[in-house]
Amino acid sequence: MPLKSLVDDEFVNTGRQKSLDYIKAFAILYMVTIHWYEEMSVCYSDGTTSLLGYIIEFLGGPLAAPVFTFAMGLGIVYSRHRTPGELFKRGVKILIFSYIFNVLRICIGYFIVGKAVGYFDADTFWYYTMNVDILQFCGVTFMFTALLKKLNVPLWAVPQVAIIMLLVGQFIQFESTTVFGKYILALFVNSGEVSYFPLLNWYIFPAMGMLAGRYLKQVTSLDRWHKIAVRISFVFVIGITAGSIFYGINPVNFFTIQDDLYYQQSFISVLFCFNVVMLCEGIFHFVFNKIKCEKLDKLVFYMSNNLNTIYIIQWLIIGNVLGIFFESGWMPAFPIWVSIPLGIITTAVSCYLAQFANKVLKV
């Protein structure tokens, strides 16, 4: 089959992509686990972590937020509501909700109990309130994508814009002392401790998702598409890892949360994370297409389809434990391994509650 025949002129692949559902479902579990690990375990109490800690960070790093933001880009292309006006309005709604959510997930409990017991700290309260997490990033991403569409930037050029943004963003890192710098600029650049998902550093993932979504619907052979993706991604992951070691750079720096290195994405770390995602997604395609289990497929589809709701619920659980019990000192930091059972239990509870929460939560 010639390479050019891999992509048809017509939309021939319009159904659900099973491998994407699976990688998103696993990403939910990894995400919940690393939230427990990052917020309340002893991961860096002595400045180091264990092999288990690095495994959790790897799974909860390249295979969590990059998967979600890549899938968001795919969703924008597949959505029926993708005019500039519709995208911008959705972005505004998500951004507003993201700060309300910050208050709900941590700040209310922290404020009430902290005031009553006496451990409340105003700086900590505002840190949790104004945190630029992935929901803030999603809101700004929708608005920025709306701007690009309004300017008639072709879809093939969006990743190029994102690469330029990334190259600029990786060199912008400062600690602002102003309200504007700490809380507003933090949405776009790494301007302080609340800036975890700045637009310039992270927009490349949804941009690549949009590009993939553009051509995925026209792929004539998913098996061949994934064989090519797996081979290319494997070469990049091994090459980047080996090259980093050769030049004295620890590959762990591409996904470790120590010193917020994972959140300060650079061109090399993005290249590493993106190819890990593509490699894993390709492997999932071949593995789970051979496993015929209707119940498992149904669960995975449910998790993938309810990703936003599950995300909200798990943070309401973890955030309130953090704000009420951990910040008070009533709950000591736990061993790293405890993050795994807590992640599994919280994911299961969040999935169960999502069926009820969907009736009242609309993101």
With vertex at residue 338, the alpha carbon angle to CA 279 and CA 202, rounded to the nearest 5 degrees, is 40
The first and second tokens of residue 241, run together, are 């890892």
User: What is the spatial distance between Cα 54 and Cα 38, in angstroms, rounded to a whole number?
Assistant: 11
Task: Categorize the per-residue pLDDT at 209 as very low, low, confident or very high, splitting at 50, 70 and 90.
Answer: very high
**Per-residue pLDDT tens digits for 297-355:** 999 999 999 999 999 999 999 999 999 999 888 999 999 999 999 999 999 999 999 98
Comparing 4-8, 68-72, 114-118, 172-176, the range with the smallest average pLDDT is 4-8
- Residue of 71 and 358 predicted with greater confidence: 71
pLDDT band at 252 (very low <50, low <70, confident <90, very high): very high
- Dihedral over alpha carbons 356, 357, 360, 363 (to 10 degrees): -140
Confidence of residue 217 (pLDDT cuts 50, 70, 90): confident
Q: What is the pLDDT of residue 299?
A: 93
Residue type, 226: H
To the nearest 10 degrees (0 to 180), the angle between helices 108-117 and 122-130 is 170
Report the 10 Å Cβ neighbour count for 48: 9
Residue 30 phi/psi, 5° resolution?
Answer: -60, -40
The average pLDDT across 175-202 equals 92
Residue 283 has pLDDT above 80, yes or no: yes
User: Residue 82: its pLDDT value, please?
Assistant: 82
- How confident is the model over 42-48, as a mean pLDDT? 85
In whole angstroms, give the CA distance from residue 183 to residue 292.
48
> Residue 1's pLDDT is what?
46
Rounded mean pLDDT, 151-160: 94
Q: How far is CA 68 from CA 31, 46, 129, in A?
A: 10, 31, 22
Is 7 strand, coil or helix?
Answer: strand
Q: For residue 6, give the nearest of 216, 213, 290, 154 by alpha carbon.
A: 216
For the chain, what is the mean pLDDT? 91
Q: Is there a contact between 316 and 356 (Cβ–Cβ < 8 Å)? A: no
How far apart, in whole angstroms, are the C-alpha atoms of residue 20 and residue 79?
A: 16
Answer yes or no: is pLDDT of 2 > 60.
no
Question: Above 80 in pLDDT, residue 116?
Answer: yes
The pLDDT of residue 46 is above 90? no
Q: Is the pLDDT of residue 20 over 70?
A: yes
Residue 8: both structure tokens together: 């048809």
> Does residue 76 surpass a pLDDT of 80?
yes
Q: What is the CA radius of gyration of the chain?
A: 20
Report how far residue 251's alpha carbon sits from residue 292's, in angstroms, rounded to the nearest whole number: 36
pLDDT higher than 50, residue 272: yes
Tell whether the model's pLDDT for residue 14 goes beyond 90.
no
Where do we find the tokens 């010639």?
A: 2
Residue 329 backbone dihedrals phi, psi, to 5 degrees: 90, 0
